[in-house]
Chain A
């Protein structure tokens, strides 16, 4: 077992280490305009177990109260915890308890909808650290890899949300 895999396994077993991270947090911010009423987009988004309806990478979702398991197409699963649902501002705040195959740790995010005329703007903003806990990370676990992975998830997810909301 490689060292980084060992650390990843250890991170799951030892709660203290699971919250360990380097000193530099990364950010991903993406948005999309949707030609559909904001309320309709929000209805889709706020359904905590509904991500498989609009995210192309998600096969199915298992919900257990405020926790959800995203079962990914092609295997792998991500576990997330809902922190805040703000109906008035049409936004959700949540964090990852287990990033699964994603090269990140301590991930938290906010997704929100705002009305723009007859349409909507969806904003997805995430904060996370690279997977590797120490200095000198290998390329697949460095800051760039973390940002690339999350940005990819946001872009494909927002495109999916747009398609479904617009009835395409």
Chain B
């Protein structure tokens, strides 16, 4: 099993295959056994090492940076900068298809980037201002918020053809999909609301009033709460979806996006040059980490929180438990990474 392939297809089922192959060999003579087990353990370790891949949009470079997040070996490093459309902003990774969907804001298009081949395989015109983007593996759809048309595009993930265009609030920004694909959430920036869309009927069923200028949004790991960054009120709206109750958590200046790891929420504060760390249970702020300038895109592989610095053009890794910096990887020009940009192995 080649390492190159192992990084591409690492999954729990592959690890199980590896382990069963190893245990089947235990009946061999001891001299051959030791060598075989050693080879086997090394091969299995190749799977375990792979932390994942990050796909960061470089808005000033018209490209995405593919970053290998593996913690061992040479450490996290840039694999390739892949050309996409003009001024890419949003990104949504797709584990099943091992690809990423990218919104090209000035190019008025959406790109598909194949993460194995590390090239753009498709680019299709979508609307006037595609920005927020999310992938649904259940209905095989890509949802794209159109900033200028005030609509939500629903595309087929196979070829980016249009399934529907649904009118939504003003200057729609972040998009999120529930794990079962049944609900789609859209931050309606200029309306100070979040729309909840029923994915089956494509109707807006609820709107939640949040803070000022909601932008990024993400569901907590348990799927019960939706966390929304409010850029101009410098806080988070944490929406309990079942109760339709909203808690407000103050964060730093001009928050951008939120990610989750180790029972905590991590929020990038663009003007605050910091990341707020919040306890998921109590909603209390654990600490505010002074970091890079203009931190924007933020995501997690479960162990490490990855933060994109738009001004410094770096991807920074922070250990979710110790909060220590663990890695720095250079990116392209004016990187954003707006959305789910980490594909964790």
Contacts and interface: CB of A to CB of B under 8 A. Distances in A.
Nearest to B296: A25
Interface residues of A, number: 18
Contacts, number: 45
A65 B89 CA distance: 37
B310 interface: yes
Nearest to B90: A23
B258 to A, nearest CB: 19
Nearest to B191: A16
A46 B148 CA distance: 40
A108 B293 CA distance: 12
Given A16-B190, A20-B171, A83-B253, A110 B293 contact: yes
B268 interface: no
Nearest to A126: B311
Interface in B92-145: 105-106, 108, 128-129, 131
A106 B275 CA distance: 21
A155 B132 CA distance: 35
A24 interface: yes
Given A83-B271, A135-B128, A24 B293 contact: no
Contact of B129 (A19, A25, A27, A135): A135
B271 A25 contact: no
B59 A134 contact: no
Interface string A4-36: 000000000000100110111111000000000
A108 B294 CA distance: 10
Contacts of A20: 171, 190
A27 B271 contact: no
Interface string A98-117: 00000000001010000000
Contact of B148 (A16, A95, A110, A135): A135
Q: Which of A19, A24, A135 has the most CB of B within 10 A?
A: A24
Contacts of B334: 25-27
Contact of A23 (B89, B273, B311): B89
Interface in B196-254: 213, 232, 253
A125 B293 CA distance: 10
B60 interface: yes
Contacts of A19: 213, 232
A23 B129 contact: yes
Interface in B294-323: 294, 310-311
Interface string B155-191: 0000000000000000100000000000000000010
Contacts of B273: 93
B147 interface: yes
A23 B213 contact: no
B105 A23 contact: yes
A134 B171 CA distance: 11
A127 interface: yes
Nearest to B253: A83
Contacts of A125: 293, 311
Contacts of A134: 148
A134 B105 CA distance: 12
A86 B275 CA distance: 18
B311 A127 contact: yes
B87 interface: yes
Contacts of B108: 135
A134 B87 CA distance: 15
Contacts of A22: 105, 129, 147
Interface in B263-278: 271, 273
A95 B273 CA distance: 14
13 contacts: A19-B213, A19-B232, A20-B171, A22-B105, A23-B105, A23-B131, A23-B147, A24-B87, A26-B334, A27-B311, A27-B334, A127-B311, A135-B128
Given A25-B334, A108-B271, A125-B293, 14 more contacts: A19-B213, A20-B171, A22-B105, A22-B129, A23-B89, A23-B106, A24-B89, A25-B310, A27-B60, A83-B253, A93-B271, A93-B273, A134-B148, A135-B108
